Amino acid sequence: MTRWGMVIDLDRCTGCAACEVACKSENNIATVPPHQAEMGRVMSWMRVLAHTVGDFPDTHLEFYPRPCMHCDNPPCIKVCPVRATYIDPEGIVGQIYPRCIGCRYCANACPFTVKYFNWYGPEWSDSERQHLNPDVSPRTKGVIEKCSFCHHRLQRAREQARAENRDVREEDYQPACAEICPTRAIVFGDLDNPTHHVAELKEDPRAMRIMEDLGTQPKVYYLRARR
Amino acid sequence: MRPTRREFLWAMGATAASVGLRWSSDLVWAPQVPDDLGWAPGTEQFVNSACLICPARCGIRGRVVDDRLVRLGGNPFHPMNAGGLCPRGIAGVQMLYHPDRIASPLRRVGERGADSWEEIGWDEALGQLGERLQSLRATGRPEALALMAGYCAGSMHDLWRQFLRSYGSPHYVAEDYDDGTSAVMELMHGIARRPGFDLERAGFVLSFGSPLFESWWSPLQAFAAFAGPDGSDDGRTRFVQIDTRFSRTAAHANDWVGVRPGTFGVLALGIAYVLIRDELYDAGFVERHVSGFEDYTDREGERRQGYRSLVMRNYRTEEVSALTGVPVARITALARAFAQAEHSVAVFGHEVTHAPSGLLSGLAVHSLNVLMGNVGREGGVLFGNDPPLDPLPDPRIDAVARAGLERGSLARTPAPFGGGDPASRFAAAVGDSPSETIDTLLLYYANPLASSPRPDAWREALERIPFVVSFSPFLDETTAHADLILPDLLAFERWQDAPTPVSYPYPVWGVARPLVAPPPGGKHAGDAMLAVARQLGGSVAASLPYDNVELLLKARARGLFRARRGMTLGDAFELEHHRQMEERGWWLPEHTEFEAFWDELVQRGGWTDLFLDETDPARLARTPSGRVDLTPAPLLATLAAAGRGGALYMDVAETSAATTDEFPLRLLPYRVSTLSSGTVALERWLAETPGLFPEVHWDPWIEVAPATAEAQKLGDDTMVWVVAASGRYRARLKVFPGTAPENVCAPYGLRHPDGELANPLQLLDGSSDALTALPNWSTTFVRLEPA
């Protein structure tokens, strides 16, 4: 059975944030005005979280590029009163925007804080509408949105594979963050398929998951930095 | 039992209804499909081009749906960025569709800077500019035309030069990030060219403050080297960052070393001390190819100390440690790691040279590369080739133009080994000249009122220039003071060549072509100037015989077609195959016709040649002796004349004024990866992700050590004034343990959401390195006040 997952090598990450911006571009994520940003309402499905430790010059950085963990045992779906958030058979935790009633239970249940609430409707000028991705629906005011592992790309890959009468290959389906990463720190694929790179990497001695003790079984693995 | 009449009729009716429904089901239930849905799924295309946003000039691949650009990614054929792209490039779509862009020419009505404009047509606008230029030449004052240009290496640079020369103006004022490294190379190697760093093939990269992962010449070049060739961990380059602050590069490099500002050169010589003491340097290379290492007798017969004596006598690790703040064990370990790696390279740039002894510090850092013999060979410092383009025709210079050129530039070269900050010098010279000495100023990707360290000088200069023309597609600070705006097309709408920066040692000639159609009423600045040249006629028109920039590029590419080397961009296998063939002396033509070659070149995004002949001695040194010179005679003579003694590699530490009670903190400006460069409106995606601080959005910030913030009683996230002797600006204070307690680190090029500038460069004390005239960036002291 396919289980889509991700491995992020912290040894390769340069914190350039290309993944963040590529995600915003791919998924039509709305920007919020500066005073809203100050209230912590910036939406960023992929976010490079960083924390600096130690005084100059013995300083080092603890950091994680953090997408949705797409947990196998996701706490967010258990609290949703309308089943707007769900886990699909291939392990992708999705969000059905028209069904969401904006109660924000899931945003509070998520230990990784990856669910974002649309406090206002997105604002795009006429010119900015031009760069919206036609494959992804924009969200309205009052719904939760989250990383979908670029699910629309999986749908296209599936259609293409079906038309060619074959299985979906690793390179057919890559989310925007993994595709753009200049140092190939983000690797994506089927965790259960031994021919996929992620299946091998997740067994690496450096591999770990964040807040693993909560038992949510995240499908995003990190390879600890060696340095 | 017989059915009743009622039951019989009901059964008959039900049967008829079901039969009827079945037969008519298609008709009844099929949805009505209108012929025209009002939308269509769209046709998707992927088009290769080149990014023109920063000097790196990466290859890009745009996803175009119908006529809209919806995504930018890297061009996998491009050897430098190999499919990756930085956030600024990705956010390019937001620049392209920015709501504030200007699409058609504007003429000022009313007072300058009052922001009142009228739209005019291109014919009228170019007519006005052409007449003005015509009349300047008619009155014999072609030198009264000046151009202020931002970074535009390639054919646009050549086009402007050609225009100004044939017109007769010596005033090409460049704001092109001069970092003094070419002066270092000219002195030591006799090659006046910025060094290329072959990071990808190096085993160990020692960066002296260069922001490799943030805002270097090409962050993608550094990323590719950091990632390694094939995604495996074997043979990955190791990066060590030496820095005055905990930068993003320091945070993500394999290791980092914090030093005191202005001591990069001292640390380099401390490393050299260990290399020599422990005999770790490449003695064979030094003996064969280097002069000035041992003591020597100069042409006047005077005995002089060589590099070895100077270093061994003056840079013992204990002394270096005391000056730089780096422990002795760290210095020794750095030297050993540098020596033990197969190919190690010391990278440096403006962080080293923008200091009181910047040129000498640059020499000191580069001497490490020379000691290890990592020059002119794989994985070291390389002097690359320029792509073999056909040159523009020789400019025709008539009598008027000759007279103008002979009158020379207003701004004289101020220093023996560099031009310093030519833009500020030009502004000052205009300010000192009678009004209208410069009649017409053209601004091309330059916004000096925002980016210059001396905006006041520019404000005064602009007042003395009667006619200012800006080609900016955005109404930036300087453009707001223009008389005429001829908005250029945006990147992704225009033809332009995109040669990679010199830091990438292999020549790549990227070609940017339009990914989307320009808006109605838009015009390429290059096309506009070609039209003006035609209007001027005579020698100017004859010097620029091209209908448009696309044809100019195509004409120049004939040189590549004839060069019998290199190839159009291709995948990694093709590139490597071609390189190995050339290494063995082979080259196979892929095209017999130029048209087919050009089509493929455009379709793949450019041309490259990854083979460099390392056996060519001219790659190493073009000095009279043919050796790399550690003690260049012209520099020694200049220093002696200035009374600074006859020895190099002394006094490389900064000896400027120290802190005072009034200004207790040292200001360290730096450039962030999302820099707006002062010429482009900041994209919103970038404003949301500016730096190492996940919680800072939109606002410019400064970084202050926890102890300092506490002592000054300033809390995290408060707005403060950064006050220097020459002025002040507002920023948000971030308590950051990666800053030394005596420093304030300040990103430049950012703005507040309301447009207010926050430029720490404007606080600089105005001092400079006497040898290169490059401004000092770490000698200004400030204090903080709550705002």
**Distance between CA atoms of residues A31 and B363, nearest Å:** 47
CB pairs under 8 A between A and B: 174
In a mutagenesis test of the B interface, which of A13, A56, A66 is the best target, namely the one with the most B β-carbons within 10 Å?
A56
Question: Quick check: helix, strand or coil at residue B194?
Answer: coil
Per-residue pLDDT tens over the stretch B419-438: 888 898 999 999 999 988 99
Per DSSP, B217 falls in state S
CA-nearest residue of chain A to B327? Answer: A57
Q: What is the mean pLDDT of chain B?
A: 89
**Distance between CA atoms of residues B390 and A227, nearest Å:** 47
B503 in Cβ contact with B518 (< 8 Å): no
pLDDT of residue B658: 72
Question: Quick check: helix, strand or coil at residue A190?
Answer: strand
pLDDT of residue B656: 55
- Cis omega (within 30 of 0) for bond into A57: yes
Q: Give yes or no for residue B157 having a pLDDT over 80.
A: yes
Q: Give yes or no for residue A190 having a pLDDT over 80.
A: yes
Largest CA distance in chain B: 140
B498 in Cβ contact with B510 (< 8 Å): yes
**Distance between CA atoms of residues B100 and B328, nearest Å:** 55
pLDDT of residue B678: 44
Q: How confident is the model at residue B643 (pLDDT cuts 50, 70, 90)?
A: confident
Cβ contacts of residue A43 below 8 Å, gap of 6+? Answer: A29, A30, A32, A116, A118, A145
Q: How confident is the model at residue A227 (pLDDT cuts 50, 70, 90)?
A: low
B232 or B271, higher pLDDT:
B271
The predicted model scores a pTM of 0.91
Single out the residue of B432, B427, B469, B468 nearest to residue B451, CA to CA: B427
Q: How confident is the model at residue B679 (pLDDT cuts 50, 70, 90)?
A: very low
> Nearest CA of chain A to the CA of B233: how many Å?
10
Q: Which CATH class is domain B196-375+620-641?
A: alpha beta
Per-residue pLDDT tens over the stretch B480-498: 999 999 999 998 999 999 9
Q: How confident is the model at residue A91 (pLDDT cuts 50, 70, 90)?
A: very high
pLDDT of residue B681: 47
Single out the residue of B486, B601, B485 nearest to residue B550, CA to CA: B601
| Average pLDDT of span B635-651 | 80
Q: Could you please report the per-residue DSSP string of B331-349?
A: HHHHHHHHHHSSSEEEE--
Task: Delimit the CATH 3.40.50.740 region(s) of chain B.
Answer: 106-178+389-488+523-545
CA-nearest residue of chain B to A56? Answer: B738
Q: How confident is the model at residue B52 (pLDDT cuts 50, 70, 90)?
A: very high
Query: What Cα–Cα distance (Å) separates residue A143 from each residue in A32, A70, A138?
Result: 15, 19, 11
Residues B77-115: b if buried by 16+ CB within 10 A, e if exposed: bbbbbbbbbbbbbbbbbbbbbbeebbbbbbebeeeeeee
Query: What Cα–Cα distance (Å) separates residue B584 from each residue in A149, A163, B354?
Result: 46, 45, 43
| Average pLDDT of span B654-665 | 76
Listed by number, the residues of chain B in 732-771 with a beta carbon closer than 8 Å to a beta carbon of chain A are 736-741, 753
pLDDT of residue B693: 65
Q: Which chain A residues have a beta carbon less than 8 Å from that of B70?
A: 25, 130-134
Listed by number, the residues of chain B in 640-699 with a beta carbon closer than 8 Å to a beta carbon of chain A are 673, 684-689, 692-695, 697-699
Return the percentage of chain A with pLDDT > 90, whole number: 80
Q: Do B97 and A18 touch (CB under 8 A)?
A: no
> Nearest CA of chain A to the CA of B720: how many Å?
17
Task: Delimit the CATH 2.40.40.20 region(s) of chain B.
Answer: 665-786
pLDDT of residue B18: 64
* Range of lowest pLDDT (A77-81, B20-24, B150-154, B775-779): B20-24
- CATH dotted code for B44-96: 2.20.25.90
Q: Give yes or no for residue B680 having a pLDDT over 50.
A: no
Query: What is the extent of the structural domain holding A9?
Result: 4-223
Listed by number, the residues of chain B in 297-326 with a beta carbon closer than 8 Å to a beta carbon of chain A are 325
Q: Give yes or no for residue A226 having a pLDDT over 90.
A: no
B613 or B288, higher pLDDT:
B288
Predicted complex ipTM: 0.94
Give me the CATH number covering residue A121: 3.30.70.20
Q: Do B223 and A14 touch (CB under 8 A)?
A: yes
| Average pLDDT of span B374-394 | 92
Q: Do B246 and A42 touch (CB under 8 A)?
A: no
Q: Give yes or no for residue B30 having a pLDDT over 60.
A: no
Return the percentage of chain B with pLDDT > 70, whole number: 93
Listed by number, the residues of chain B in 46-65 with a beta carbon closer than 8 Å to a beta carbon of chain A are 65
Percentages helix, strand, coil for chain B (3-state, rounded to 5) are 35, 20, 45
pLDDT of residue B409: 86
**Distance between CA atoms of residues B170 and B151, nearest Å:** 18
Q: How confident is the model at residue B750 (pLDDT cuts 50, 70, 90)?
A: confident
| Average pLDDT of span B369-377 | 93
**Distance between CA atoms of residues B684 and A38, nearest Å:** 14
Q: How confident is the model at residue B17 (pLDDT cuts 50, 70, 90)?
A: low
> Nearest CA of chain B to the CA of A37: how many Å?
6
Per-residue pLDDT tens over the stretch B496-528: 999 999 899 999 999 999 999 999 888 999 999
pLDDT of residue A40: 85
Q: Give yes or no for residue A165 having a pLDDT over 70.
A: yes
pLDDT of residue B672: 76
The radius of gyration computed from the CA coordinates of chain A, to the nearest angstrom, equals 18
Q: Give yes or no for residue B655 having a pLDDT over 70.
A: no
Whether residue B42 lies within 8 A of chain A, CB to CB, comes out as yes
Per-residue pLDDT tens over the stretch B248-264: 899 999 999 999 998 99
For residue B644, give both structure tokens. 């600074």
pLDDT of residue A199: 95
The conformational region for residue B423 under phi > 0 = left, psi -120 to 50 = alpha, else beta, is alpha
Domain count, chain A: 1
**Distance between CA atoms of residues B545 and B543, nearest Å:** 6
Q: Which chain B residues have a beta carbon less than 8 Å from that of A125?
A: 99
- Cβ neighbour number for residue B723 with a 10 Å cutoff: 16
Phi and psi at residue A113, to the nearest 5°: 50, 50
Q: How confident is the model at residue B114 (pLDDT cuts 50, 70, 90)?
A: confident
Q: Which chain A residues have a beta carbon less than 8 Å from that of B254?
A: 227
Burial of A210 (0-12, 13-18, 19+ CB in 10 A): middle
Per-residue pLDDT tens over the stretch B441-451: 999 989 888 88
Q: Give yes or no for residue B684 having a pLDDT over 90.
A: no
Matching CATH number, B106-178+389-488+523-545, of 3.30.460.80, 3.90.1150.10, 3.40.50.740, 3.40.228.10: 3.40.50.740
For residue B538, give both structure tokens. 């005579």
Q: Give yes or no for residue A11 having a pLDDT over 60.
A: yes
pLDDT of residue B3: 67
Single out the residue of B29, B34, B66, B61 nearest to residue B46, CA to CA: B61
Return the percentage of chain A with pLDDT > 70, whole number: 100
Q: Give yes or no for residue B659 having a pLDDT over 80.
A: no
Per-residue pLDDT tens over the stretch B165-186: 999 999 999 887 888 899 999 9
Q: Give yes or no for residue B189 having a pLDDT over 80.
A: yes
Q: How confident is the model at residue B689 (pLDDT cuts 50, 70, 90)?
A: confident
Q: Give yes or no for residue A191 having a pLDDT over 60.
A: yes
* Fold (CATH) for B665-786: Barwin-like endoglucanases (2.40.40)
Q: Do B252 and A26 touch (CB under 8 A)?
A: no
Task: Delimit the CATH 3.40.228.10 region(s) of chain B.
Answer: 196-375+620-641
Q: Do B738 and A59 touch (CB under 8 A)?
A: yes
